[in-house]
A and B are shown apart, each in its own frame.
Chain A
């Protein structure tokens, strides 16, 4: 997780990210990996694609939006692996959830990626990917 965020420090150090916690994570990572990544240079670091690297607060935000959209009661358990179909969403609901996430995180989801989202975890991963690309 730390190396994953460190590899994106050099590229995203110029951007101010939305969540202050994310920025502080990046800053902390750059201190510990000072030998590897210099914020002023753009070193071609190998990009570590860790698939389960979505941050918990992202997943929590996604869960919250999903619950509000599908009008689920608060005690209904929604975790990373819950599929939208199982929670009672039809395809239009899925698109609406993706739209809600777009608005919440300020990203723009592409066509193909949007079709493949079936679980909460996938949505969170996609959001992370798009946030770091910005």
Chain B
């Protein structure tokens, strides 16, 4: 494979935001290139397509798009790399992958008719703790 997850050691801190950006893109490319392996290891070919997985990875990265401190970005990248290497070396199982990344996303698994949740208050309650 072109770029396997080869570093779990900590590279020196990024000097600038630009270098951190470059590292983020590197990480994203590594993740995308390991998607076929992941699909084969966990047999998720019938649940998601590689395109959807790519979109999922991108949305996870985008969740932290507002961060500007290069050190924080490095830390997040480290956690991301650790997670990716755990997944690739089969330290997780199929239900972990599906539960954490696939289910619950409206584009991929549309809600199959949510049961009647009652009042607006209850709906907010089910969604999160803080409202």
Contact = CB atoms under 8 A, between A and B. Distances in A.
A99 interface: yes
A92 interface: yes
B2 A108 contact: yes
A96 B61 CA distance: 12
Contacts, number: 31
Q: How large is the interface on A (under 10, 10 to 19, 20 to 34, 35 or more residues)?
A: 10 to 19
Contacts of A95: 25, 28-29
3 tightest Cβ-Cβ pairs between the two chains A and B: A99-B32, A95-B25, A96-B58
Interface of A: 68, 91-93, 95-96, 99-100, 102-103, 108
Interface of B: 2, 21, 24-25, 28-29, 32-33, 50-51, 54-55, 58, 61-62, 65
Given A92-B24, A96-B28, 8 more contacts: A68-B51, A91-B25, A92-B65, A95-B25, A95-B29, A100-B54, A102-B32, A108-B2
